Amino acid sequence: TVVGYVVIADTVHLSLLKVDILGYADIPILKVKHMLDLGLFGEIGIDFGLGVYGNIAMSLNATEASSGGDVLEGIRWVERRGSATLGSKAWGKAALLLSIIVEGDASITVVIFVPRPYWRRGESLKLAASILVAVKIPVLGTYNLIDESVSWPSHHTVRASGWVWIPRLWAGPRYAEYLWAPGAREGLLLNNTYLYPHPSAAAGERVVLVWAHDDLSKPHVRGYEIYYSTWDEERGAWTPPAPLTDDLLAQGDPVAAADGEGRVVCVWGEAPVDEADDPLSTLGRVELAYSVWDPSTGEWSRPRRITSNGGYEMYATIGRSSEGDLMLLWASDRDANLSTPWDWDIYAAPWTGDGWGEPTLVARGVPLHTPSAVVPVPGGAVAAWCQHTDGNFTTLDDVELFYSTYNGSAWSPPIRLTRDEVEDAFTALAERGGRALIASVKRGANDTLVLYEVGGSSEVVAERPRIAWPLVQVDEWGQVLISWLDGLEQTPVLTQLYRGNWTWLGPLKLANTSLLQRDYSWTLASGGRLVLAEVAGPGLQAAGIYTSWRSYLVNTPPSAAFSYAPEQPLVGTEVEFHDETRDPEGVAEWRWDFGDGSASSERRPSHVYAEEGFYRVKLAVVDDAGVRAEAERVVKVVAETSLSLSVEPRLAVRSGVTVRGAIKPPREGLAIRLIYEGPGGEAVEHVVATGPGGEFTDTFSPARPGAWSVRAVWEGDELRLPSEARAGFVFIPWWLMLPAALAAALAVAYLAARRGRRASRGTPQARPGQPC
């Protein structure tokens, strides 16, 4: 920076000069980093390097003098100070015992003091060196093995101590402040959070977000609790954070998933901690616990333990099928000895709706490289993980991908999926069409993300300089979505298998912030929306939880629907079908299946059914991008019926009558009611069944003489409408006919007697000439 004031008088001259020179360089010569975040208990891997650095800082001030000068005539220096630093540094970190990190750094610094500009005279030199080697558990404490610094001349310092609780460096101003603005679709949810919140999002009837939080009102480490927030759709805001747990256990690494009933199940690790305990003793007592959020009450159930074996349980993950079935998977250190990382056992437990079922052993003695994953499939589940295969943990080209299948009662022996002597890392699983999909990363000069279909093929999704922590889900339209932390910046990105042309789209950045990304989680909500939660901050000691709602759909898939009229169509009459599909970009094709072997490609077709029945009508629509959607309804087609009825004889003078009838369309086994009604208002009911041709017969003997009627009634069923027929007859019993019969007999006898008397008197003979 140069500032000058020019005064114009008799001559032109410079009255003031100020020069500031600042410069800094930090040049890494070698940098190697292979670190894996273990969440609550730190990292695994190596991080080391060499470098040089240097800086220069000078401040020079000059002002007008009466005569002479150091710079120009009349300008003299009134202040001159500065220094230059040259140095080298080496650093290293190794998580040799999984969660126990051994780290160290060393540096040599040369400081040259520059009291006068241009180094003309008065130079001085100072040498300094320092070295630090420590064992650290990031959230618990650190033990300094070597902490020494020396300088020349005359300075030497050695500091060493036992276990020291790591200060709550995150507990600064505005710690865990709720900052979400109602109506926003993205932004900062919590400011300045605990360093390892590990957020996890799940979409049930409502979207629920859980994370780990350090309650400062409780003792160190024992204040680690699980907190949650739910999305209020009406307000467009997350509810203020609230505790899911509230005790004196160290709790962290929550994972959440929604079951088929819209409830959210949260699982976490927890351990009892005594202030006097060595922090290492805590690692052998980590158990799993869970709670269930009920959307009808908005409350969490009382936390319950899943494991209680005194071991070290970690890497808990929940897999979810497209039907909402859940499966829990975790790793257990058999001997609770982290110095033997080759003896991990993998366990799984299914969600029963009331709790987690009995744990089953997936694999024993697994030398895990990265956490395992699981997904339920019809009839069972599939679990996958990456493990060392040569027993040498210092090499990585032996790490291969394995999986195991579950048939509902037992897990299969581990099946090796890769054999290419290339490091395989990370696993994420999803289910599509009843088949398990495994996403995993192959390490190399460039990392390759590969998607495997268990029992099928595999395909490369992406090839990038750096890929870590993939997540995979399948949406309601069958599209596969895969995300990962990309590059050295660890930015969450998303790619999707677009159903329009079955190609991979992306990757697209999920996060808008340029801050350092540290952890992330996302879930799929209704309507093609993705809910992202990420941990980001300007540095390692400060972080916040950012959330965002994003529409990931490139093309809005159609939502197929249709109606028909009339609501209860008759056999032989026309049924009109109306397409009611919603698609902003438009539908290009309609495919109707009327359920009786007939089809149509019209948008609003009509159809006539020849028989009554229940017909499953399907409509498949395809939009202009080739995305298909289906709708299905059951159409009930009913038939009209008619009854015929006759009575023999119509005039009955003996014991009774015979009634015959039939129903059309014919059907055997129908119950026909025959109601006989007499002259005095009495009624007698018979029930008869139809024969193979729909015919029926009945006999009836009236109790009193007179005019009778018979009514046949069919009351109908789901597929046939009711019908009715009527006939009449007259009944006269024999005893009522006896007087008439006697009278008729007497009349006949009388006539016969008269004819007999005439015959006995003879017939007169006519005389000739006389009329007869």
**One domain for residues 616 and 651:** no
Q: Are residues 24 and 104 in the same domain?
A: yes
Q: Are residues 632 and 668 in the same domain?
A: no
718 with 619, same domain?
A: no
Residue 206: the pLDDT is 94
Residues 582 and 717 in one domain: no
Residue that has been written with the tokens 């029945």 in this structure: 613
**Residue 221, pLDDT score:** 79
**85 and 54 inside one domain:** yes
Residue 449 included in any domain: no
Predicted pLDDT of residue 109? 61
DSSP label of 119: G
Helix (H, G, I), strand (E, B) or coil at 761: helix
Among 487, 540, 493, CA closest to 516: 540
Q: What is the pLDDT of residue 21?
A: 75
The residue to which tokens 């009339």 are assigned: 566
The residue out of 148, 165, 182 marking a domain boundary is 165
Both 11 and 120 in a single domain? yes
**Token pair of 368 as six digits:** 């895990």
pLDDT of 765 reads 52
Rounded alpha-carbon distances, angstroms, from residue 616 to 193, 411, 560, 582, 729: 55, 39, 15, 21, 48
Residue with tokens 């865990």: 176
Residues 125 and 141 in one domain: yes
Domain final residue, candidates 614, 637, 660: 637
Task: Say if strands 651-652 and 723-731 run parallel, antiparallel, or are unpaired.
Answer: parallel
Whether 578 is in a domain gets the answer yes
Q: What is the DSSP string of 560-591?
A: --EEEESSSPBTTSEEEEEE--B-TT-EEEEE
Start-to-end CA distance of the chain, whole Å, equals: 178
Regarding whether 129 and 44 lie in a shared domain, the answer is yes
What pLDDT, in 10s, does the model give residues 103-151? 666 666 655 554 443 333 444 556 666 676 666 665 556 666 666 766 6
Coil/strand/helix, residue 374: strand
Angle at 770 between CA 769 and CA 772, to 5 degrees: 130
- Report yes or no on 81 lying in a domain: yes
CA–chain centroid gap for 682, Å, is: 69
pLDDT in tens, 296-347: 999 999 999 999 887 788 889 999 998 899 999 999 987 766 666 677 899 9
In this prediction, residue 118 carries a pLDDT of 35
Count of structural domains within the chain? 3
Full-model pTM: 0.61
DSSP code string of 88-117 = EEEEEEEEEETTEEEEEEEEEEEEEE-SSG
Tell me the residue range of the domain where 687 lies.
Answer: 642-731
Residue at a domain's end among 165, 196, 214: 165
Same domain, 113 and 33: yes
Residue 387: the pLDDT is: 93
Residue keyed to tokens 């990931």? 552
**What's 590's domain CATH number?**
2.60.40.10
Kindly state whether residues 646 and 630 are assigned to the same domain: no
> Are 595 and 615 part of one and the same domain?
yes
220-244 core/surface letters (b: 16 or more CB in 10 A; e: else): bbbbbbbbbbbbeeeeebbbebeeb
Place of tokens 């000439």: 769
How high is the pLDDT of residue 661?
Answer: 94
Could you report the average pLDDT of every consecutive run of 10 residues in the chain (772 residues)? 37 58 77 65 70 74 60 61 70 60 61 43 58 63 67 55 62 86 88 86 95 88 91 92 92 94 95 64 78 95 91 89 94 74 88 94 92 94 94 83 95 95 93 94 92 92 91 89 85 80 80 73 89 81 84 80 94 95 84 95 94 94 83 94 90 80 91 91 92 93 86 90 91 64 70 73 54 49
**Residue 709: inside a domain:** yes
Residue 509, helix vs strand vs coil = strand
Q: Establish if 277 belongs to a structural domain.
A: no
